[in-house]
């Protein structure tokens, strides 16, 4: 069995590349409608055990750059995820977006963050 | 048994499966040399007995499909182990298609409908947290 890649290790992408792709990107209509950063299938796993989708399904390219924490939308719910890498092997304009799906719901994180704020003075 | 979480109706399940298979085929191929073909992959998870249920991660999915690998293969679909997770598989929805001869949207939709038919009834997801 292949060794699983460390999800803390992120393959950063040159900001100039992000900007180049963003210029021609059209926001994915389903992502816009759902109010999420990108659309994907939570069942998918690549050879490293990561989830994946394609950049063309993003709402805003810069929001899903490697290292970002995002909300992935799907037909069966929303998932928090960390963007691990963009893989340009199949396309220079529409790379594979590699994601680590986090085993928590967006709502539970919202509640935890609300609790973590210091009390008002 | 393998499972795939779905929306509440068979039509929605078919549409979702067909869409995901097309994205897969736009991204990956399987095979080697002259045997390379587009991967119209439909991701599924093995569901094994034990304290952890793979359905736990699909709390917003009202339903799921569950079927044995044998039944899927008997219907003519290949089931391919995929990657690091021994419990993750891709069902090859349309076989033998290449970049120069991809499947039509109708072919993919028909295969998705057949896979859902083979899988049987939609089952209620016990971890569904919706209303």
Q: Could you read off the pLDDT of A61-120 as tens digits, one per residue?
A: 999 999 999 999 999 999 999 999 999 999 999 999 999 999 999 989 999 998 998 777
Does the residue A85 lie in any domain?
yes
Does the residue A9 lie in any domain?
no
Does the residue A8 lie in any domain?
no
Retrieve residue A48's tokens.
């490293």
Report chain A residues whose CB lies below 8 A from the CB of B23: 41, 53-54
Give the single-character DSSP code of B3: E
ipTM of the complex: 0.93
SS3 B109: helix
Find the domain containing A59 and state its range. Answer: 15-116
B63-88 burial, b if ≥16 CB within 10 A, otherwise e? bbbbbeeeebeeeebbbeebbbbeeb
The pLDDT assigned to B90 comes to: 96
Retrieve residue B16's tokens.
């979702």
Nearest Cβ partner for A77 among B12, B44, B61:
B61
- Global confidence as pTM: 0.92
Number of structural domains in chain A: 1
Q: Could you read off the pLDDT of B42-94 as tens digits, one per residue?
A: 999 998 888 788 999 999 999 999 999 999 999 999 999 987 889 999 999 99
Does the residue A54 lie in any domain?
yes
Cross-chain residue pair B7–A1, CB shorter than 8 Å: no
Contact B53, B3 (CB under 8 A): no
| CB-neighbour burial class of residue A12 (10 A; exposed 0-12, middle 13-18, buried 19+) | exposed
List the single best residue of A38, A46, A75, A107 to mutate versus B (max B Cβ within 10 A): A75
């Amino acid at each position: 069995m292949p060794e699983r890649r460390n999800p803390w290790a992120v393959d950063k992408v040159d900001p100039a590349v992000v900007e180049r792709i963003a210029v021609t990107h059209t926001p994915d209509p389903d992502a816009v409608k759902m109010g999420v950063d990108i659309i994907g299938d939570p069942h998918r796993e690549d050879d490293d055990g990561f989830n994946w989708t394609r950049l063309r399904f993003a709402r805003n390219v810069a929001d899903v750059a490697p290292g970002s924490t995002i909300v992935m939308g799907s037909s069966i719910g929303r998932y928090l995820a960390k963007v691990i890498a963009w893989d340009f092997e199949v396309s220079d304009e529409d790379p594979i977006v590699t994601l680590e799906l986090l085993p928590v719901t967006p709502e539970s994180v919202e509640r935890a963050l609300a609790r973590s704020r210091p009390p008002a003075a | 048994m393998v499972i795939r979480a779905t929306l509440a109706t068979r039509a929605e399940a078919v549409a979702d499966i067909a869409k995901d298979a097309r994205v897969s085929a736009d991204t990956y191929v399987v095979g080697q040399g002259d045997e390379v073909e587009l991967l119209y992959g439909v991701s599924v998870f093995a569901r094994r007995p034990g304290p952890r249920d793979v359905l736990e991660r699909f709390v917003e999915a009202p339903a799921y499909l569950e079927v044995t690998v044998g039944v899927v293969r008997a219907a003519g679909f290949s089931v391919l182990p995929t990657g690091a997770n021994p419990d993750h598989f891709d069902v090859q929805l349309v076989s033998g298609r290449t970049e120069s001869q991809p499947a039509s949207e109708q072919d993919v939709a028909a295969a998705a409908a057949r896979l859902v038919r083979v899988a049987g009834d939609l089952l209620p997801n016990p971890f569904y947290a919706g209303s």
